[in-house]
Amino acid sequence: MPRLDSPGLFSLTPKILADFAAEGILSVEDFLLAHNPNLDESRTEARKQAVVDILGYIDRQSCGFRTSARMLQEIEARGERYLPTGCESLDKLLEGGLREGTVTELVGGSSSGKTQVCMQVAASVAYRCRAMVGFVDTCHSFSATRLSHMLGGLVGGRDAVQRRVGAADEIGDAMKSIMHYSIFDIFPMLSFLNQLHTTLSVQVQSMEEKVMRLLIVDCASSVISPILGGIPGHALMVSMGIILKKLALENHLAVLHATRSQIIQLVEKEAILSLLLERLGKPCLVFACFSHETSAAIFVMLPL
């Protein structure tokens, strides 16, 4: 909530602002908490006008009520697509793929295949959807060589790359549209996500340029676990969840973030992190585990 002097309301003269400040009201939030309509009658005209203006400003800021029908129309108008993950069984599990406007969490233990899935999804979206992909790497597990192999597979295999003219260019193009960011700390991460949000919100789309459709964060828990334990730690984690959701909803991105799971006492308890992030209302939680016996990665989608 901004301070009272930010909206630039004319009736909030310095004298009125000083009056408010004397009562401890410095921001719009303080005003809402402290404002008592019953006392208004005894105030001066200037003060009553200021109160009316502030309430009007608050009304303008909020979206107002919308019906479900209107929301459904808006969703259809946005035309959010399903982005292919590059693996058919995973697409089937997700009933189409990663949906724009949603945040998907991929949880898994060590060496279960999380980074491989992230790289595969990046390759698939960059190649098939001709879109820009943002890959935020917090744990140094991104391998461009491996990504190029995956793209080779999507193009048609090694033979196809050699036979088909232009296949190598296609791989090059796809790789050039995957932007890789190395971030190891929570504050640079928050700052980056905010900057991305601002940049994407203001960006004017031109026909030739590729649009960012997918943001991958691998892995979110490595920047959060060092700080989780103090009071600001939890709040920072929640802030990160909020900004990821904002990026998905307002910028129409599909956001995929990987989290580590810690198996405590061999029971179904997942990491505290994933549970807490879950409370922010993810539509989809995919759990990955690696089975040593069958040497296969198993993906389980948990209904939410």
Partner 1 sequence: MDVLTLALPPSQRSKLLAAGFHTTAALVSVTPFQLSQEANITLEEATVVLKLVPRSDIDHVGALSLSGPLTGSTTAWDLLIHEKNRRKIGTGSTEVDKILGGGVLSKELTEICGVPGVGKTQFSMQLAVNVQIPAEFGGVGGHAIYIDTEGSFMMERVLQITEAVIDDLRNKSPASAEDLTVEDFLSHIYLLRVHDPVEQLAVVNTLPTLLDEHKEVRLVVFDSVTFNFRQDFEDMAGRTRLLANMAQKLMAVAENYDVAIVLVNQVTHKVTSEGSRTVPALGESWSHVCTNRLMVYWMDGQRYAHLAKSPSLPVGTAPYVITEEGVRDAQESHKRPKLVEPHG
Smallest distance from the beta carbon of 69 to partner 1, in angstroms?
Answer: 33
Torsion of CA 79, 80, 81, 83, to 10 degrees: 160
Q: Rank residues 101 and 113 by Cβ distance to partner 1 and give the closer one.
A: 113
Q: Rank residues 13 and 199 by Cβ distance to partner 1 and give the closer one.
A: 199
Q: Rank residues 9 and 175 by Cβ distance to partner 1 and give the closer one.
A: 175
Residue 263 lies near partner 1 (rule: CB under 8 A): yes
Q: Give CA angle at 123 (117, 129), nearest 5°.
A: 120
Selected range binding partner 1 among 54-62, 84-92, 174-182, 281-289, rule: CB under 8 A:
174-182
> Of how many residues is the chain composed?
304
Residue 282 lies near partner 1 (rule: CB under 8 A): no
Smallest distance from the beta carbon of 42 to partner 1, in angstroms?
Answer: 25
Choosing from 56, 96, 156, 232, the residue that interacts with partner 1 (CB under 8 A) is 232
- 122 burial class (0-12, 13-18, 19+ CB within 10 angstroms)? buried
Q: Rank residues 93 and 290 by Cβ distance to partner 1 and give the closer one.
A: 290
Smallest distance from the beta carbon of 25 to partner 1, in angstroms?
Answer: 9
DSSP 197-260: HHHHHHPPP-SSSPPEEEEEEETTHHHHTTTBTBHHHHHHHHHHHHHHHHHHHHHT-EEEEEEE
Cα separation, 271 vs 31, whole angstroms? 40
Choosing from 58, 227, 297, 301, the residue that interacts with partner 1 (CB under 8 A) is 227
Smallest distance from the beta carbon of 296 to partner 1, in angstroms?
Answer: 13
Q: Give CA angle at 213 (162, 147), nearest 5°.
A: 35
Residues of this chain, 102-131, that bind partner 1 according to CB under 8 A: 109-111, 115-116, 122
Selected range binding partner 1 among 57-65, 84-92, 93-101, 136-144, rule: CB under 8 A:
136-144
| Sign of the CA dihedral with 174 first, then 209, 181, and 200 last | negative
Q: Rank residues 74 and 169 by Cβ distance to partner 1 and give the closer one.
A: 169
Residue 1 lies near partner 1 (rule: CB under 8 A): yes
CB 50 within 8 A of CB 69: no
Residue 172 lies near partner 1 (rule: CB under 8 A): yes
Choosing from 44, 73, 143, 291, the residue that interacts with partner 1 (CB under 8 A) is 143
Selected range binding partner 1 among 47-55, 77-85, 98-106, 228-236, rule: CB under 8 A:
228-236
CB 30 within 8 A of CB 21: no
Smallest distance from the beta carbon of 256 to partner 1, in angstroms?
Answer: 16
Show the tokens assigned to 48: 């009553």
Q: Rank residues 93 and 167 by Cβ distance to partner 1 and give the closer one.
A: 167
Choosing from 53, 81, 262, 278, the residue that interacts with partner 1 (CB under 8 A) is 262
Residues of this chain, 26-85, that bind partner 1 according to CB under 8 A: 26-27, 29-30
Residues of this chain, 175-204, that bind partner 1 according to CB under 8 A: 175-185, 187, 190-192, 194-196, 198-200, 202-204
Beta bridge partners of residue 288, listed in sequence order: 108, 299
Which is it for strands 82-83 and 132-137: parallel, antiparallel or unpaired? Answer: unpaired
CB 118 within 8 A of CB 151: no
Residue 291 lies near partner 1 (rule: CB under 8 A): no
Radius of gyration of the chain (CA): 24
